[in-house]
Chain A
């Protein structure tokens, strides 16, 4: 493992982070930190800058200005060390549909240089953990949305990361699957102390599972604290009400890029 850029108690530390696309400021001078072992919810309306922030933390985008540390490594200067230290579940499915569940895991294990000796055992452990071991030799395209998500979580954990990023992990899933996914993650957080950083539009979910919450709107962080703290601060009864009182009730318009079009097409095809 390379030298850490800084040692401290934070799992993620962000200082004055800004990302501009041309004239548009997607993320506007935000600062926040996530403690080790914490379950942290990053909330905000559509187009608020959540995904852009995750992309910067996970080395997919370069920030315009500002500094970040993920597990003590700088995602810009120390790309590979950061990449080895986190797992990620993207907003859109990112499995190879033509490969089996096992092959998807194996592919990931090789890319992350998980030693051969332990790879097979780890895959078995994790597929058992998300209850997909008996489907290991099935091609992923026959899986339901919930099964794919569970497989992605198992895959994201394969190289024993210190942080798991999840961008809307439960979107489009039924309550049963959502519950089981959070149960896995809570178990995992309890046994390994992994930090979980996630975004969601389901406020009840965030209220139930998150230790701390940050709310981002139009690229700026408007509130940060425990769900209880935010409710007290806004004198509301639920996190959803607190969220609405902090970000307003106006519906956000977001232009559809080609990816969104694709998502719609895919939904049409899969019927």
Chain B
């Protein structure tokens, strides 16, 4: 069982390492956000008395790259469905739960790696974490966020037939999750409706935990963040496994 999970995990990792264009492509966006928004809005943010915007933004951009990578990794199942590889795993004498666990761990590992790379990019862009001792906490938040959204991607992919629905998922799920998470702006002082939407959004808690660990600014606090993130991750893993077990090809 462990070997099954291991080989599925390893496959995800190999695919990631080999698709260099994908890695480079997916690093362009965070870099753009850091440079364009970080430097662009910096002076206004400063004038509003909120401090250094790049410091504030970097954890949000790290969370963003984890969100995108994790959802895509989960959704790779659609690709496997269409290109036939999924059949190879589904007729093998292994339980679907193990297949799902291996894939999800693989996707989450890739997303966490991506988050770590973006962390170093933001350091290169001028970001400085305030407390080095909290880096392990930041890492833990990254892992949880990565697991959560990989499981979400898997659940969605189990329901979709082909890549046609992909654009819709991007525009109506992934983008709103990112923009309404407090990754780009502080939640304090916003209209109640926006704060309510943000508190229903799991990424909000990932961003909050990451920001707390990296620069010591928080809206909800670690306990709430961890509780919400682990709760939703557990829920999505169960839903994802169920939907994955129902795939017929």
Q: Which residues of A contact B (CB under 8 A)?
A: 58-61, 79-81, 83-84, 88, 90, 92-99, 103, 106-108, 110-113, 139, 155, 258-259, 261-262, 266
CB distance B93 to A83 under 8 Å?
A: yes
Known: A94-B84, A96-B85. A107 touches B91 (CB 8 A): no
CB distance A94 to B93 under 8 Å?
A: no
CB distance B92 to A98 under 8 Å?
A: no
Nearest chain B CB to A92 CB, angstrom units: 4
Set B14, B83, B92, B161: member contacting A111, Cβ < 8 A? B92
Known: A94-B84, A97-B83. A111 touches B15 (CB 8 A): no
Set B85, B90, B93, B164: member contacting A60, Cβ < 8 A? B90
CB distance A259 to B82 under 8 Å?
A: yes
Residues of chain B lying within 8 A (CB to CB) of residue A97:
83
A-B contact pairs, 25 of them (CB 8 A): A58-B91, A60-B87, A60-B248, A83-B93, A88-B91, A92-B83, A93-B83, A94-B85, A94-B88, A95-B85, A96-B85, A99-B11, A107-B11, A110-B3, A110-B4, A110-B6, A110-B7, A111-B7, A111-B89, A113-B3, A139-B18, A155-B88, A258-B161, A258-B164, A266-B83
- Chain B residue, CB-CB nearest to A165: B91
Q: Is B21 an interface residue (CB 8 A)?
A: no
Residues of chain B lying within 8 A (CB to CB) of residue A81:
93
- Please report the C-alpha to C-alpha distance between residue A99 and residue B78 in the assembled complex, in whole angstroms: 18
Nearest chain A CB to B90 CB, angstrom units: 7
Residues of chain A lying within 8 A (CB to CB) of residue B93:
79-81, 83-84, 111-113
- Please report the C-alpha to C-alpha distance between residue A114 and residue B94 in the assembled complex, in whole angstroms: 13
CB distance A111 to B4 under 8 Å?
A: yes
Known: A94-B84, A107-B11, A111-B89. A60 touches B3 (CB 8 A): no
- Chain A residue, CB-CB nearest to B82: A262
CB distance B7 to A98 under 8 Å?
A: no
Residues of chain A lying within 8 A (CB to CB) of residue B161:
258
- Contacting A at CB under 8 A, from B1-32, are 3-4, 6-7, 11, 14-15, 18-19
- Please report the C-alpha to C-alpha distance between residue A98 and residue B15 in the assembled complex, in whole angstroms: 6
Known: A98-B18, A110-B7, A111-B7. A83 touches B92 (CB 8 A): yes
- Please report the C-alpha to C-alpha distance between residue A92 and residue B18 in the assembled complex, in whole angstroms: 24
Q: Is B249 an interface residue (CB 8 A)?
A: yes
Nearest chain A CB to B56 CB, angstrom units: 38
Set A59, A111, A139: member contacting B94, Cβ < 8 A? A111
Residues of chain B lying within 8 A (CB to CB) of residue A259:
82
- Please report the C-alpha to C-alpha distance between residue A61 and residue B246 in the assembled complex, in whole angstroms: 11
Interface size (B, Cβ < 8 Å)?
A: 26
- Chain B residue, CB-CB nearest to A98: B15
- Please report the C-alpha to C-alpha distance between residue A171 and residue B18 in the assembled complex, in whole angstroms: 30
Nearest chain B CB to A226 CB, angstrom units: 30
Nearest chain B CB to A86 CB, angstrom units: 8
- Please report the C-alpha to C-alpha distance between residue A39 and residue B162 in the assembled complex, in whole angstroms: 36
CB distance A98 to B88 under 8 Å?
A: no
For the complex of A and B, the 8 pairs showing the least CB-CB separation, nearest first, are A94-B84, A111-B92, A83-B93, A110-B7, A92-B84, A80-B93, A258-B162, A94-B88
- Please report the C-alpha to C-alpha distance between residue A79 and residue B84 in the assembled complex, in whole angstroms: 21
- Chain B residue, CB-CB nearest to A81: B93
CB distance A90 to B84 under 8 Å?
A: yes
- Please report the C-alpha to C-alpha distance between residue A40 and residue B163 in the assembled complex, in whole angstroms: 37
Set A61, A93, A103, A261: member contacting B84, Cβ < 8 A? A93
- Please report the C-alpha to C-alpha distance between residue A94 and residue B161 in the assembled complex, in whole angstroms: 17
- Chain A residue, CB-CB nearest to B81: A259
Nearest chain B CB to A105 CB, angstrom units: 12
Nearest chain A CB to B230 CB, angstrom units: 30
Nearest chain A CB to B18 CB, angstrom units: 5
- Please report the C-alpha to C-alpha distance between residue A80 and residue B94 in the assembled complex, in whole angstroms: 7
- Please report the C-alpha to C-alpha distance between residue A96 and residue B85 in the assembled complex, in whole angstroms: 6
Residues of chain B lying within 8 A (CB to CB) of residue A110:
3-4, 6-7
Known: A60-B249, A84-B93. A108 touches B82 (CB 8 A): no
- Please report the C-alpha to C-alpha distance between residue A233 and residue B142 in the assembled complex, in whole angstroms: 70
- Contacting A at CB under 8 A, from B59-115, are 82-85, 87-94
Set A61, A262, A266: member contacting B248, Cβ < 8 A? A61
- Chain B residue, CB-CB nearest to A106: B7
Residues of chain B lying within 8 A (CB to CB) of residue A83:
91-93
- Please report the C-alpha to C-alpha distance between residue A162 and residue B164 in the assembled complex, in whole angstroms: 40
Nearest chain B CB to A153 CB, angstrom units: 13
- Please report the C-alpha to C-alpha distance between residue A139 and residue B249 in the assembled complex, in whole angstroms: 26
CB distance B14 to A112 under 8 Å?
A: no
- Chain A residue, CB-CB nearest to B161: A258
Nearest chain B CB to A115 CB, angstrom units: 11
Residues of chain B lying within 8 A (CB to CB) of residue A103:
14
- Please report the C-alpha to C-alpha distance between residue A93 and residue B83 in the assembled complex, in whole angstroms: 7
- Please report the C-alpha to C-alpha distance between residue A95 and residue B87 in the assembled complex, in whole angstroms: 10
